[in-house]
Amino acid sequence: MSDSTKPELISFDLCPFVQRSVITLLEKNVEFDLTYIDLANKPDWFLEISPLGKVPVLREKGEVLFESAVINEYLDEVNPPSLHPADPLKKAQNRAWVEVGGNQLMHSFRMMMAETREDYDAHRDALIKGFRMVEDQVGGTFFNGDHFSLVDTAWAPLFTRLLIVEDVLGENYLPSYPKIRAWANALVARDSVIHSVREGFREKFLTYLQNKTYHGNTPGYVADRLASAA
């Protein structure tokens, strides 16, 4: 049972959007409880508090918040110092790039879930094209330079997964993007990102992808390639 004096984050253990909020909590050194649910069999109590039926959900002080970007904004505001730039225009721009990160996560997910080679290639192309404008925005070690920000918490889950699949399949999803490559490597090596997923995440994530099947239990394109690479 969770400690009601701590914020409680309700999670599915492979969800990248939950990982965003876990990273933020770890960066803020906030004590919190993490409750895992099965998204394929959502408990009634969860459906009663989650308007969209999705994770993450944050429970604190008897109230509920949902949507990872909103949760992170709240956590950042009530647990200073802020992970946002102080300048209002720069802060607004960072929020916009958080949204771009969400779009890239979905391109990546659709690519990994692709049924056919054609579907995979289409989503792969969309993913790589989506990085094009980001390359010139990366300011250094992290998105804004030397200072870790909420943009970094939003993009780290994408790179966590993408670099695993790259490694296993021998792919390159960041061609001609040296700034993003260096940023991705810095993020996945950061303590808050490493500890934002459960032990054995790599193996469980790959198993999840490898188990993706379609009509007649035919494996998806990435699932088939992972089986061949095993």
- For residue 114, the enclosing domain spans 88-194
In a domain, 224, yes or no: no
SS3 146: coil
Average pLDDT over residues 101-122: 97
Q: Annotated catalytic residue: which of 9, 10, 15, 112? A: 15
Q: Which CA distances in Å does 211 have to 16, 77, 113, 196, 208?
A: 18, 40, 10, 24, 5
Residues 6+ apart with CB under 8 A from 92: none
Alpha helices (H) along 113-149: 117-130, 132-135
Q: What's the CATH code of the domain at 17?
A: 3.40.30.10
pLDDT tens digits, one per residue of 121-131? 999 999 999 99
Is residue 145 domain-shared with residue 47, that is, in the same domain? no
In a domain, 21, yes or no: yes
Whether pLDDT at 2 is above 70 = no
Question: What angle is formed at CA 102 by the lines to CA 101 and CA 103, rounded to 5 degrees?
Answer: 90
pLDDT at 1: 44
Is residue 95 domain-shared with residue 185, that is, in the same domain? yes
Please confirm, yes or no, whether 15 is among the known catalytic residues.
yes
What confidence category does residue 192 fall into, taking pLDDT thresholds of 50, 70 and 90? Answer: very high
Is residue 92 domain-shared with residue 168, that is, in the same domain? yes
Is residue 73 domain-shared with residue 166, that is, in the same domain? no
Is residue 58 domain-shared with residue 122, that is, in the same domain? no
Q: What is the pTM assigned to this prediction? A: 0.95
**Percent of the chain scoring above 90 in pLDDT:** 93
Which of 56, 78, 100 is a domain's end point? Answer: 78
Average pLDDT over residues 188-214: 96
In a domain, 57, yes or no: yes
Is residue 145 domain-shared with residue 57, that is, in the same domain? no
d(CA 194, CA 22): 11
Average pLDDT over residues 147-166: 98
Is residue 176 domain-shared with residue 98, that is, in the same domain? yes
Is residue 161 domain-shared with residue 139, that is, in the same domain? yes
In a domain, 218, yes or no: no
pLDDT at 4: 65
In a domain, 175, yes or no: yes
For residue 115, the tally of other CB atoms under 10 A from its CB is 17
Is residue 26 domain-shared with residue 65, that is, in the same domain? yes
In a domain, 38, yes or no: yes
In a domain, 203, yes or no: no
d(CA 177, CA 104): 15
| Tokens of residue 6, six digits | 């701590």
Count of domains observed in the chain: 2
Average pLDDT over residues 211-221: 89
